[in-house]
Structure 1
Amino acid sequence: MIELHPQIVTKDGEKQFVILPYDEFAAIQEALADIDDLNSLRAAKTEEHDAPTVPLEEVIDSLGLSG
């Protein structure tokens, strides 16, 4: 869990903005990017779950790479 040290800016008694140290902001951005990547991977796996597969040995042979 990312430890945050926010400063809350209020206007007329209402919370308006949050100020974070840059390192904390960057850590949040990285965590959100990781979550987005994970969601994309999960979607791709779901989409391709019935896709045909080819064994590695067959690919190697078809490319003429076997000894």
Structure 2
Amino acid sequence: MITIRPKILEKDGKKEFVVLTYEEFIKIQEELEDYEDLKELRKAKQEEANAPAVDLKKAKKELGLE
């Protein structure tokens, strides 16, 4: 879990902007990238769920690696 200490700036009494340290920004950016990677992995796994597969021993034998 990321701990952030945002500074909220108001304009006309309404929350308008958030200021973070650069370190916090980078942490959030990395977490978002990891999340996007996870979503792509889950999508790929779902798309390939019913794809035919060959077990490793059989593949090695067919390729003459065993």
Offset from partner CA, 1:18-38 (integer Å, 9 cap, x none): 000111111111111111111
The letter of the residue matching 1:21 is T
Tell me the TM-score normalized by structure 1. 0.85
Q: How many residues align?
A: 66
Where does structure 1 differ by over 3 angstroms across 4 or more consecutive aligned residues? none
Cα shift readout 1:16-65 (whole Å, capped 9, x = no counterpart): 11000111111111111111111111111111111000111222223222
Letter in 2 for 1:13: G
**Where in structure 1 are there 5+ consecutive unaligned residues?**
none
Give the TM-score normalised by structure 2: 0.87
**1:24 alignment partner in structure 2:** 24
Matches within 5 A, 1:29-40: 29-40=29-40
Partner of 2:55: 55
RMSD: 1.1
Q: Which amino acid aligns with 2:3?
A: E
Q: Which sections of structure 2, spanning at least 5 residues, go unmatched? A: none
